[in-house]
Structure 1
Amino acid sequence: MKSSTPTSVSLNGVDNIGKTTNLTWLHRGMPGAQLVGTIDAWDSRWQEVASDDFAHWWFVSSSTAEHVELVMRSHAARRAGSGTFALEDRGLPMLRAVCAATSVIKDGLALDEALALVDRIAADHLPPPGPRREVHVLLRRSAVPAHEAAEALNREVGPVGERYRAYQRALAEIMLVQVERGDYDVVLDIAETAILDVQRLLRARLQEHGLCVLSLPRASLERLWMLAGMSESGKSTVGELLRSEHGVTRLKIGYLLEIAALRAGVSDPYQAWSEVEQAERLTEEILRFAASSKARTISVESAHRFKATAHLKRVWGDRCRVVFVAADLAVRVSRAAETTAQVRERDTIKFKRGAHRVADIADHILENSGPLSALKFGVKRLVTATGLRHTVPPTGWPAKQGRWLQEATEYLRDEQTALVLATGSTGSPQWRERWSDIDLLVVRNTLPLDWLRGAVGTLPAPQGVKVGVSAFTIGDIAALRIPPRVAQSLRRAADGFGVLYRRVDYRIPVPTRAHVDRLSRGELGLVAMTTRRLLATEHTDVRAVYKHLVLLAKILLRADGHHLDTAEDVLAAFAHHHPAAGCAPPSLDDLIRDPLDPEVGRRLTVATVRMLAYIDSLDHTARVNP
């Protein structure tokens, strides 16, 4: 605290908004604070009314005067028992709102009448004003009372009656009135914000009010993978694949909790802390590690405790992905250096912790009863597909080749077809007669041989134009098992370019620029090899060489962060950003006008040879000392 003035901080909001959860976590970040909790712990009469039909007493049998008297005297007792720095679960403004909302239901009063009645009764039971500073924080998902109440009711575990629904609506409306008249010092509109982000925001706002609150470590963690599963299911293998093949930092829950326990002076974190607290302490250690190491993606194994894992999902929100690795018992035993009985014994311990129930809340079930190759493909798809944006762009017919493209689309389309794209320059103003191909991309549920031969193999081409059809399954696209040109076509499709047909239930995944860059650099060796083969022939195919030259330039430019499509733009940008390459090919107009001109061919060959030599020199900045 920056002041010795006694202070109370309260957290308020409709039911199920996270008051208790956030207040408990906040308490650990406020040295010297006393968590005084809810008012029912401060008057024994609450136990008496709760022992019978509590809801009936609350809404029916008690008078408003009796109800308000118990609430306010309990608050007075809590305040009297509070130390210098108290954290209240529901402060005085919300207690007034609760009583007023109850009066609306019980007495049939209007909101303002109920508030006025509660204020009159409360005046006789509240402690006299003292030198205590009060900071009241309201959490709300919506400024619209009907929506706020609906969100609270949607989070109820079981069914609720109409009376309780009406109460929640009245409570939300009354708290809006309180906000408008300034009863709350801080209003946090949290919508669907993850608990971690609410906690950050809450601490920051309290710091603005001069309160001593420890900030959570700042980290730019993009993805947290929580790995779960029964004994010998392959969690460690998945963790190692994430580390070795996808650059994910691999951590262990046990180690992180040991560090947290040492930091807190606790000998056994599993005994000292609830699973909810374990999840929050684990979160803080992950944040500290990520902040110091600059890790962007982290995997943590093994998530054996159901409540802790469920709370971690709520804490991290969409950044956290729980992966349950599943395998048959016989397969798990075959992989273990143990007997079936020993594996079952370890499973029994995990069952007691709820490890098997994690599958019910997992974001992904990774089947690992098959070969290692299947697991590797599964992990790659997991990493690639998670977090990809999906879009539903409009379809349309390009001005160029529009009639033929429409006919071709109808020819290729059936109930299994999810997407037909015109790719490259097809249909665009950049398409050039006597030079450009027509390239189509087809995405289907499956690609059986009879369809490939009967549709793709028999597609009639326009006179004098080469047509290429690339076909992929939905699974290929989802896992990005595609070349970079297809990835770039999907990105262009998201902007509305080239979408000839999209099935109504199919949403197009949009690779990031980073995806396209990695895919492109992964193909650099193949493109360079093919380019050299083209150069090795006696009669240079200038069209093929030029296209490969442009492709090589695209790969380097994408690595630089420049994503261009048209050949002229690509080569101009390459000359600007890589002048040391000395790559000066003939113009596309020259190539189209006279592709057999020896001088044009020579200039293209020289430019391509220089490009290959330049690429070969780029990684020479890394030297190995003898």
Structure 2
Amino acid sequence: MLRATCAATAVLKEGLSPVKALRLVERIEADLPVAAPRHETHVLLRRSADTTQEAAEALRREPQPVDGRYTAYQHTLAEVLSIQVNRGEYHAVLDLGFAPILDVQCMLRARLAAAGITVEPLPGDVLNRLWVLGGLSESGKSTVGDLLRHEHGVTRLKIGYLLDVAAMRAGVSDPYEEWSEYEQAQRLSEEVLRFAQANKARAISVESAHRFQSTSHLKRVWGQRCQVVFIDSDPSVRAQRATETKSQLRNRDAIKRERGAARIADIADHTIDNSGTLGALKLAVNRMALTVDLPRVGLHASKPATHSSWLEQATEHLLDEEVACMLATGSTGTTSWREGWSDLDLLLVRDTAPAAWLRDVAGCLPEPEGIKVGLSVFTTTDIDALRVPPRVVQALRRAAQGEGLLYRRAGYLLPVPNVAHGDRTSRGELGLVVMTTRRLLAQPQPDVRAVHKHLVLLAKLVLRADGHDLHTADEVLTAWHSHHPAAECTPPDLSDLIRHPTDPVLRDQLVETTDRLLTYLDQLDHTERTSR
């Protein structure tokens, strides 16, 4: 690197080419005293093999604007380094891109260990998410930490505790006095790694983040896995929550502001206004936790395989500037749609859904004769927060697979829930489906169509928990028979039910099968509680 910087300087001062500048530096070096022999391993860390990008990233890290000469120097330095790499002058070259510091450390230590150099490994990295909670006094950091723990399984830790442990490990009496904020962040990260490895913790929250530089460095250490949450609250509300005097609260705030606590809002990934009710805070935390990893995609509309004319007419009827997207859900628009049995189901996402629009537009959607139409309307806020039932979660997942999208507004990105989210929300609705199914069976003349749909839905929810995400009734029932033979589920053939919906023999067979499935479900999670 010293040769490279000297050569880059020579290029600018002497007007040499990078290759000639390197030769000049090597000739000068040859006349210098020879250092004592020692083992050296040369490792080059750079952002990119592309010299233009490498120089641009180096310039981007400068805290102040630079002049043209320094810009030319960085571009030249990147060219010289590239020449050295091509000559094989480095034992290892790591192109880091935008990898966080923790990933760089793992790569570097692994490369050095492979070269036979003794390097202390980092604790095993099993953590998926690090929540860093900041805010002024009485803003609600502890409440947010509790909500993350109780409702989302996040392990809650205190920054002060972790730094005290790190200090004892290092033999340091006061980590805040003896360590810079950058070192505090690094030591804190090591303790988080140790704790996560020892306790198999996948998600951890740490509070309270009061120091700006330390918090900022944590983001660089962990990258996107670290999500900084700033909890804000109106001063009058914070004063009402405090058990101390207003003067004492102001003094605490002053100390935290001096450390940069208020500035953390500028680098936060999430800002929560906790000036309202506990219910509002719960909704905000739930939205943040559920959607933090949610990918969003821009999809293209697909052509329906069936009912294309009516779907086109329905889209034209509902479409306006507030509509973000429209989906055909279930079997609608697919070849699995069955005449005399299936519904036409639509999902509309709109910026707002006022009662007048629901009544005058959505409520007047033309229906084909003899076919039941179901229109579900959600706002963009509902969808962004995933404040939706399982069937909508599945519709979003299928849309990402290229099925069902009829319209998408330019620039609108659909969230794509993962398999685990679909399974979790589905199991959360299992009790409601069971209750509705039993109500159907209680009727003197059960609705065959409704009972069959609920039979399939119950099987589908359990199969989804088994890891089998299926859609059509035939697929679901075949898989159920294969994976849950003990349920003895042998419903009538669907085609027979469609042709003979009032046949008492078929109806009794369907009711009996559904009853057996419910009994099987009742025993599926049976456990024994023992007491002494």
Length-normalised TM-score, structure 2: 0.99
Q: Distance in 2 between matches of 1:622 and 1:195?
A: 48
* Counterpart pick for 1:188 among 52, 70, 94: 94
- Bigger shift: residues 591-600 or 320-329: 591-600
For the pair 1:539 / 2:445, whether they are aligned, the reply is yes
Residues 45-444 of structure 1: pairs in structure 2 closer than 5 A: 94-125=1-32, 127-444=33-350
- Measure how far apart 1:230 and its partner are: 0.1
Q: State the 1:410 CA deviation.
A: 1.3
**Correspondence for 1:512:** 418
Tell me which amino acid in the other structure corresponds to 1:203: R
Q: Is this contact kept in 2: 1:306–1:358, CA < 8 A?
A: yes
CA RMSD of aligned residues (A): 0.9
**What's 1:78 paired with?**
none
Matched, 1:494 2:400: yes
Letter in 2 for 1:137: V
1:399 Cα deviation after fit = 2.2
Distance 2:50 2:139 in 1: 47
SS in 2 for 1:302: strand
Give the Cα–Cα distance (whole angstroms) in 1 for the partners of residues 273 and 402 of structure 2. 36
What is the SS of the residue equivalent to 2:432?
A: helix
In structure 1, distance between residues paired with 2:350 and 2:31:
74
Deviates more, 1:290-299 or 1:152-161: 152-161
CA distance in 2, matches of 1:333, 1:555: 48
Question: Which digits, 9 at most, give the CA deviation of each residue in 1:535-586, with x for residues without a partner?
Answer: 0001110100000111101110111111101111011111111111111111
Report deviation, 1:332: 0.4
Q: Is the 8 A contact 1:517 1:555 kept in 2?
A: yes
Offset, 1:116: 0.9
* Counterpart in the other structure of 1:618: 524
The partner residue of 1:607 within 494, 498, 513 is 513
The 2-side partners of 1:391 and 1:599 are apart by 48
- The CA deviation string for residues 235-292 of structure 1, in whole angstroms up to 9 with x for no partner, is 0000000001111110110111111111111111111111100000000100011111
Amino acid in structure 2 at the alignment position of 1:157: P
Distance in 1, matches of 2:521 and 2:230, equals: 43
The one-letter code matched in structure 2 to 1:500 is L
TM-superposed deviation, 1:625: 3.0
Maintained 8 Å contact 1:140/1:148: yes
Supply the distance in 2 between the matched residues of 1:158 and 1:463 (Cα, whole angstroms).
70
Contact 1:136 1:186 in 2 (8 A): yes
Letter in 1 for 2:26: D
Question: Alignment partner of 2:210: what SS?
Answer: coil
Give me the whole-angstrom Cα distance separating, in 1, the residues matched to 2:85 and 2:489. 66
Distance in 2 between the 1:376 and 1:622 partners?
34
The residue type paired with residue 475 of structure 2 is D
Q: Distance in 2 between matches of 1:415 and 1:396?
A: 20
Measure the CA separation in 1 of the matches of 2:160 and 2:466.
41
8 Å contact kept, 1:398–1:427:
yes
C-alpha separation between the residues in 2 aligned to 1:308 and 1:288? Answer: 19
State the 1:162 CA deviation.
1.2
Using the TM superposition, give the Cα deviation of residue 514 of structure 1 relative to its aligned residue in structure 2, in angstroms.
0.8
Residue in structure 1 matching 2:469, options 532, 548, 563: 563
Per-residue Cα deviation, 1:400-432 (whole angstroms, up to 9, x for no partner): 000110111111111111010000000001000
Cα distance in 1, alignment partners of residues 509 and 11 from structure 2: 87
Kept in 2: contact 1:219–1:294 (CA 8 A): no
1:302-346 deviation per Cα after TM superposition (whole angstroms, max 9, x unaligned): 000100000000000000100000001110010111111111110
CA distance in 2, matches of 1:528, 1:399: 33
Q: Do the aligned residues in 2 keep the contact of 1:426 with 1:439 (CA within 8 Å)?
A: yes
Q: Distance in 1 between matches of 2:35 and 2:114?
A: 24
Unpaired stretches in structure 2, ≥5 consecutive residues: none
Task: Write the letter of the residue equivalent to 1:113.
Answer: K
What is the CA-CA distance between 1:396 and the residue it aligns to?
2.3
Structure 1 residue 460: Cα displacement: 0.4
* Residue of structure 2 equivalent to 1:44: none
Query: Any idea what SS the aligned residue of 1:251 has?
Result: strand
Name the residue aligned to 2:384: 478
Per-residue deviation, 1:385:
1.0
Larger radius of gyration: 1
Partner of 1:445: 351
CA distance in structure 2 between the aligned counterparts of 1:151 and 1:560, rounded to whole angstroms? 46
Deviations 1:46-94 (A, max 9, x none): xxxxxxxxxxxxxxxxxxxxxxxxxxxxxxxxxxxxxxxxxxxxxxxx1
Q: What is the deviation of 1:129?
A: 4.7
Letter in 2 for 1:557: L
**Structure 1 residue runs of 4 or more that deviate by more than 4 Å after TM superposition:** none
Distance in 2 between residues matched to 1:399 and 1:528, nearest whole Å: 33
Percent of aligned positions that are identical: 61
Q: Which amino acid aligns with 1:167?
A: Y
C-alpha separation in 1, matches of 2:18 and 2:517: 77
Encode CA deviations 1:17-37: one digit per residue, 9 max, x unaligned.
Answer: xxxxxxxxxxxxxxxxxxxxx
- Contact (CA 8 Å) 2:470, 2:476: kept in 1 or not? yes
Q: What is the CA-CA distance between 1:622 and the residue it aligns to?
A: 4.4
Partner-residue secondary structure (3-state), 1:351? helix
1:420-468 Cα distance to aligned partner (Å, 9 max, x none): 0000000001000101000000011111111111111000011111100
Asked if residue 594 in structure 1 is aligned to residue 496 in structure 2, the reply is no
The DSSP-based 3-state class of the residue aligned with 1:446 is coil
The residue aligned with 2:409 is 503
Looking at structure 1, the residues matched to 478 and 316 of structure 2 have their Cα atoms a distance apart, in angstroms, of 38
- Contact in 1 for aligned 2:298/2:411 (Cα 8 Å): no
The one-letter amino acid paired with 2:386 is L
Aligned-pair CA distance for 1:397: 2.3
Query: What CA distance in whole angstroms lies between the structure 1 residues aligned with 2:84 and 2:155?
Result: 47
Matches of 1:410 and 1:199, distance apart in 2: 55
Q: Deviations over 1:179-204 (max 9, x none)?
A: 01111111011101010000011111
2:366 corresponds to 1:460:
yes
CA contact (8 A) 1:397 1:405 kept: no
Give, in angstroms, the shift of residue 105 of structure 1: 1.0
Instruction: Measure how far apart 1:107 and its partner are.
Output: 1.2
**Amino acid paired to 1:159:** P
Indicate the SS of the match to 2:65. coil
Contact 2:344 2:374 in 1 (8 A): yes
Distance 1:612 1:349 in 2: 61
